[in-house]
Homo-oligomer: A and B are copies of this chain.
Amino acid sequence: MDNKIIAISRQFGSGGRTIGKETAAKLGIPCYDQELIEKASAESGLSKEYIAESGEYTPHSGWLANVFNFRSVDGKSVQDDLFLIQRQIILDIAQRESCVIVGRCADYILKGNPNCLRVFIHSGMKKRTERVVQVYGETDESPEKRLADKDKRRKAYYEFYTDMEWGKAENYHICLDSGVLGIEKCIDIITGLY
């Protein structure tokens, strides 16, 4: 198995998805993100929209958890099942081909794979708020609030399904501040490491 995988975790608004896509394009390999969700959707029978949302929610998130987190007979929630389906898809992809995988705890799932480069992309609050408004447009909620909410969910999801701390340098092979270094430079560095 000589496939090389680049697994990218990222703060919301850091440009991590763009970095993943452009790195993959430069290297001539596929980038899995939305595609991954579609595969999981097809396999589980759940709607794409539900999966896209749930991918960042942890099962225990408030007093309504028991109402909304339907559990199967073995005690697993729908989110747990979804995590296991996505996990298997990620393992299958890594077995099959070289690629970039953005989010979905791929860095953790492929931790035992010596050919997986684990990357974390982050950026200062100011740069991220600018990017969020630029990429996703204005909403009633302030960009700072949207950033804080999204990061909180990603961190909770990551730490619920892994035994690692999100954003802790030693969990990744390389962490980059895309706001200071620039997205192009980040792509160059990751491409150079491949």
State the A residues within 8 Å of B (CB). 11, 120, 122, 167-170, 172-177, 180-181, 185, 189, 192-193
Residues B169 and A122 in contact, CB atoms below 8 Å apart: yes
Nearest 3 A/B pairs, CB to CB: A175-B175, A169-B175, A173-B177
Question: Which residues of chain B are within 8 angstroms of A177 by Cβ–Cβ distance?
Answer: 170, 172-174
In the complex, residue of chain B having the shortest beta-carbon distance to the beta carbon of A9: B169
Q: Which of A169, A174, A192 has the most CB of B within 10 A?
A: A169
Which of B168, B175, B193 is close to A174, meaning CB atoms less than 8 Å apart?
A: B175
> In whole angstroms, how far apart are the Cα atoms of A189 and B169 in the complex?
17
Residues A167 and B167 in contact, CB atoms below 8 Å apart: no
Which of B11, B168, B173, B181 is close to A173, meaning CB atoms less than 8 Å apart?
A: B181
In the complex, residue of chain B having the shortest beta-carbon distance to the beta carbon of A188: B192
> In whole angstroms, how far apart are the Cα atoms of A175 and B173 in the complex?
8
> In whole angstroms, how far apart are the Cα atoms of A158 and B113 in the complex?
33
Kindly list 5 other residue pairs between chains A and B, CB separation below 8 angstroms, not including A170-B177, A174-B176: A11-B170, A120-B175, A168-B169, A169-B172, A174-B181
**Chain B proximity of A115: nearest CB distance (Å):** 11
Residues B167 and A181 in contact, CB atoms below 8 Å apart: no
